[in-house]
């Protein structure tokens, strides 16, 4: 390639990845902190992929995740882009509002405290 055939940086970049926004992470980490304080959760992992972003929650570090909070923007106009998935792969709650979706996990916190 010669200097007169300069390619813009955008053509060399990786494909777009889905990620959680700061406000979304604030909601998730607030719940995570309460569950850690209750002794229910101990570790987490975040994955950003091409089609989805995943926040995985673990009871111990070397396990399968207890729950996954997923963001799939392609489902925004259908069932909603947020979902909470259980350890067995079952979707526990899906919707358009992240706060409403993670409430299914807050109910488990209420049960563990009482």
Length of the chain, in residues: 114
Q: Find the angle CA(21)-CA(25)-CA(30) to the nearest 5 degrees.
A: 155
DSSP-assigned states of every residue in the chain: --TTSPPPGGGTSPPP-----HHHHHHHHHHHHHHHHTTS--EEEEEE-SS-EEEEEESSTTS--SEEEEE-GGGTTTT-SEEEEETTS-EEEEES-HHHHHHHHHHHHHHHH-
Give the Cα separation of 87 and 65 in Å (integer).
6
- pLDDT value at residue 52: 92
The one-digit pLDDT tens for each residue of the chain (114 residues) are 555 666 555 544 445 888 899 999 999 999 999 999 988 888 999 999 999 999 999 987 667 889 999 999 888 888 889 999 998 899 999 999 999 999 998 876 665 555
pTM of the model: 0.78
Question: For residue 54, how many C-alpha atoms fall within 13 Å in the half-sphere facing its CB?
Answer: 15
- pLDDT value at residue 112: 54
- pLDDT value at residue 24: 93
């Amino acid at each position: 390639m010669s200097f007169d055939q300069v390619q813009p940086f955008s053509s060399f970049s990786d494909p777009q990845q889905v990620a959680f926004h700061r406000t979304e992470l604030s909601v998730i980490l607030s719940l995570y902190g309460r569950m850690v304080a209750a002794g229910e959760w101990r570790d987490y992992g975040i994955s950003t992929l091409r089609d989805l972003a995943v926040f995985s929650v673990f009871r111990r570090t070397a396990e399968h995740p207890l729950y996954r909070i997923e963001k799939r923007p392609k489902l925004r106009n259908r069932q909603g882009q947020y979902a909470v998935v259980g350890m067995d792969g079952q979707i526990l709650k899906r919707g358009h509002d992240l706060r409403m979706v993670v409430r299914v996990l807050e109910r488990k916190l209420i049960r563990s405290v009482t």
